[in-house]
Structure 1
Amino acid sequence: MTETPNRPAATPEPEPDFTPEQYARSRERKRATAPLRYGSTATGIAVVCVFGFTPLGSGLSRAAGDVAGGGWAATATLGALALRIVLWLAALPFSLWSERINHAWGLSTRSRSLYWLDSLRGFLLLGLLMAGASTGFFAITRHAPHTWPLIVGAAGVALVFVFSFLMPVVIEPMFNKFRPLEAGQLRERLFAVARDSGVQVRDVLVSDASKRTTADNAYVSGFGRTRRIVLWDTTIEHCSPDEIASVAAHELGHAARRDVVTGTALSACGLAASVAVLAWALGLGALHDAAHVTGAADPRALALCLAVSSLLGGVLGPLYNLYSRRIERRADQFALDLTRDPAAMVSTWRRLGVRNVADLEPHPARVALFFTHPPVPARIEHAREWERSRTANKGGNSGRLREVE
């Protein structure tokens, strides 16, 4: 009688990271938000192009300037505010649509009054910035007609760095309240993670994000003495200490690798490149004729400047996204090397993927166009790759990922 040889037991399939219901919910939200995303993008581009490459933009600036006498300063300042109103009105239906969808999906907790207050503050802030930038730009082009690209480029680079320093201490408090994380094990642990990372942080703060959203997030903001770890209060409520430490380590990785400084420098380089392209475009007679402007010194050319800059931003956007995803993956690697806790990272991305209703099956084109971070499944696989590499380096003795509840 022939004996059947013993066969090794089949290796059990690993548990899926997400349930079929969670995948279905992700796909359903993607279908619900796709018209909003693409419609908003297309409308924004169409509005700036129509106003920039036709007489509509120059006519709007001229009419706004005429209210205050029609001088170049009035045209530059009030024309910017008029264009800001047009852009805000064009984006408002999509903003309201987005808020309604987020409420329907349980992602927004923002009251109607807070929504309009946020919208008003954002409108005023960007309006003032646009008016100041427009007035400064045309003052330079009028008084330095041959060297203005160098002066504007240098001034723009300086302003990028100034705003990076001011953001955590001036802009952020306009929209959120911050309190120090209360003394205890979590605060001590986060400071310990910061010390291990080699990054000095001034404080660990908690943002009142729950008045707007149920999503989770954390970040490190500021430079030098203004640098702090910021946790959303939703993150503290929903995530375990191991998961919070993992997220904090990721954010500290950006500071340790000087990603914020590098990103600011790249933004400054991008702005300088935009000025160069803008100088070329403002020298084209065909665009002058189309927009009914006379050149770079004409304050009615603001809409044309916005249109050229927006199109350039659309072209460079996927390149920036590619760079950003690589930086985010590097920060994940830093967090894994620092905490040596891949299970916490896997648990973190699972939790965020479900709670934030992330796209769990993104198309590569969508990733290229819109994703500044790697997709959630890719981040989970990265943590597992780290663990497998560590296991191989130790001869297979490191064991499996422990589970984080």
Structure 2
Amino acid sequence: MIRKWAMRAIIAYLIFGVAIFLYLFYWADTSIPHALKGTSADPATFLNGRELQLSEEYSRIRNFMFFIATPYEWLFYYLILIFGLSAIFENSAKQISKFFLVRNAIYLFWLSLASFVVMFPLSYLSYTISKSYNISTQLFSGWMKDKFIDFWVQYATMFIIITVLYALMRKYKKRWWLAAWVVSIPFSIFMMFIQPVVIDPLYNDFYPLKDKQLEAKILAIAKEANIPANHVYEVDMSTKTNALNAYVTGVGSNSRIVLWDTTLDRLTDEEILFIMAHEMGHYVEKHIYFGIAGYLLLTFVGLWLTAKIMEKWISRRGKDWKVDKITNISSLPAFLLITSILLFLASPLTNWVSRYQETRADTYAIKMTHDKEAGIRTFQSLTKSGLSQVKPPVLVKIFRYGHPTMLERIKMIEDYPLQDAKSEDK
């Protein structure tokens, strides 16, 4: 029976992989609408023939890797359960120690190690592909260092989460999901608070922006928007990537405006100011608070659904998986599997909300800078540096894109009546 279910899962995964491959490489339409041919949104106007070919190739491969990686993780958790490996990990932990915290640490180490080994081939393949298309500039040693840091940061975070989670499961039997949701609120805010000052510096060096004239310009528009910012940070990303980026991270006094050094090297001051105005648009429109509220709502629903599904799974299949009850830590792969699937199913909604907010931020940047040309050049440069598709397939947009497509962003800027933006400022 176990072999039959395992074979079914593997076959389903392979069929899905073939279907996604055919969709991305043969069926999906990524052509530019005829009405936009020759406009600033047409990649043929700012990419040469070789760049056009590379952007299509790289985007298809990257999108394919995304769609096969997520269900690959699901397959891993499912096979860990049905072959009883999760129960073996738990029994091993019990034999070593009788203390709850130590058993959790040992179990999680074995599960994390197994996950790292199984997922490593896909991670390495993604790295080598990015390297071959000259997106990644990172040496293998540096990449492995980041993977090593990832492992231990995720391990430490997961240890705290599962220790609290399973303690709540034992105490609150039927309502553990509600208790977990309540606890997740301060924990999530705490993680957002320490992310910029504790976790991010483990991967990269952050320092105040060296170009003080540019910093003064950025702080000037921040002051105009009533944003309490005293410093702008740059981060050394050129040793890892040729892509461009800028962002605002953290909450409260730990919030930071961050520019990648690749962005500083390749974009003009006007283009950088447009990006910064975009990021300030998120602050002004309080997108971070809407994001927190949405996250808490989705977490509430997600934990409730996870609890219901887990109870049914363990009651029906627990004996086959050698997982006696939901409070056994060996049920963790079921929890991770269910939450991962729910997150994937929710991604069309969360991405849609994110795209709406990004459009609002783009609009704010136009109103703030009155420089449509800088906005258009910025998105053209982002497309070129990241070898992005200007018009990705529909499924890719729905499940991957938290930003509008480059076609949509450039067209929106091009069509935006600048006179309206000027009049709104008066």
- Per the shorter chain, which TM-score range? 0.7 to 0.9
Contact 2:47 2:384 in 1 (8 A): no
Matched, 1:195 2:223: yes
Aligned equivalents of 2:224, 2:95: Cα separation in 1:
60
Structure showing the higher helix proportion among its residues: 2
Matched, 1:76 2:73: no
Please give the TM-score of this superposition, normalised by the length of structure 2.
Answer: 0.84
Matched, 1:354 2:384: yes
Aligned equivalents of 2:230, 2:99: Cα separation in 1:
48
Q: What is residue 229 of structure 1 aligned with on the other side?
A: 257
Contact 1:160 1:267 in 2 (8 A): no
Contact 1:75 1:300 in 2 (8 A): no
Structure 2, unaligned runs of 5 or more: 1-36
Q: What is residue 42 of structure 1 aligned with on the other side?
A: 71
- Point out the more displaced range, 323-332 or 383-392: 383-392
* Alignment-mate amino acid for residue 387 of structure 1: P
| 2:176 alignment partner, one of 148, 163, 168 | 148
Residue deviations 1:23-65, cap 9 Å, x none?
A: 322112124334433332231121123224x253532432441
- Seen in structure 2, the aligned counterparts of structure 1 residues 393 and 190 have a Cα distance that, compared at 3 Å, is closer
- Seen in structure 2, the aligned counterparts of structure 1 residues 334 and 64 have a Cα distance that, compared at 3 Å, is farther
* Alignment-mate amino acid for residue 194 of structure 1: A
Q: What is residue 240 of structure 2 aligned with on the other side?
A: 212
- Seen in structure 2, the aligned counterparts of structure 1 residues 336 and 67 have a Cα distance that, compared at 3 Å, is farther
Contact 2:237 2:261 in 1 (8 A): yes
* Alignment-mate amino acid for residue 314 of structure 1: F
| 1:252 alignment partner, one of 272, 280, 284 | 280
Contact 1:317 1:369 in 2 (8 A): yes
Matched, 1:339 2:383: no
- Seen in structure 2, the aligned counterparts of structure 1 residues 64 and 18 have a Cα distance that, compared at 3 Å, is farther
Aligned equivalents of 1:67, 1:76: Cα separation in 2:
12
| 2:306 alignment partner, one of 242, 253, 278 | 278
Residue deviations 1:283-339, cap 9 Å, x none?
A: 222143453323332222111111111111121112111111111111111111111
Residue deviations 1:111-153, cap 9 Å, x none?
A: 1211111000000110111122111111121123244222211
Aligned equivalents of 1:334, 1:274: Cα separation in 2:
33
Q: What is residue 405 of structure 2 aligned with on the other side?
A: 375
Matched, 1:116 2:144: yes
Q: What is residue 4 of structure 1 aligned with on the other side?
A: none
| 1:319 alignment partner, one of 349, 354, 360 | 349
Aligned equivalents of 1:55, 1:210: Cα separation in 2:
44
Aligned equivalents of 1:387, 1:24: Cα separation in 2:
33
Aligned equivalents of 1:151, 1:85: Cα separation in 2:
29
* Alignment-mate amino acid for residue 321 of structure 2: A
* Alignment-mate amino acid for residue 49 of structure 1: Y
Structure 1, unaligned runs of 5 or more: 1-11, 395-405
* Alignment-mate amino acid for residue 244 of structure 1: I
Computing the radius of gyration from Cα coordinates, the structure with the larger value is 1
Helix, strand or coil for the counterpart of 1:283?
helix
Residue deviations 1:329-374, cap 9 Å, x none?
A: 1111111111111111001000110111111231111100111111
Contact 2:194 2:254 in 1 (8 A): no
| 1:384 alignment partner, one of 392, 414, 419 | 414
Matched, 1:105 2:168: no
Helix, strand or coil for the counterpart of 1:211?
coil
- Point out the more displaced range, 170-179 or 271-280: 271-280
Aligned equivalents of 1:208, 1:149: Cα separation in 2:
41
Aligned equivalents of 2:270, 2:63: Cα separation in 1:
34
Contact 1:246 1:339 in 2 (8 A): yes
* Alignment-mate amino acid for residue 76 of structure 1: N
- Point out the more displaced range, 177-186 or 365-374: 177-186
Matched, 1:168 2:173: no
Aligned equivalents of 1:71, 1:185: Cα separation in 2:
58
Q: CA deviation at 1:79?
A: 1.7
Helix, strand or coil for the counterpart of 2:238?
helix
- Seen in structure 2, the aligned counterparts of structure 1 residues 71 and 293 have a Cα distance that, compared at 3 Å, is farther
Aligned equivalents of 1:69, 1:166: Cα separation in 2:
32
| 1:243 alignment partner, one of 261, 266, 271 | 271
Identity of aligned pairs, percent?
24
Aligned equivalents of 1:209, 1:343: Cα separation in 2:
26
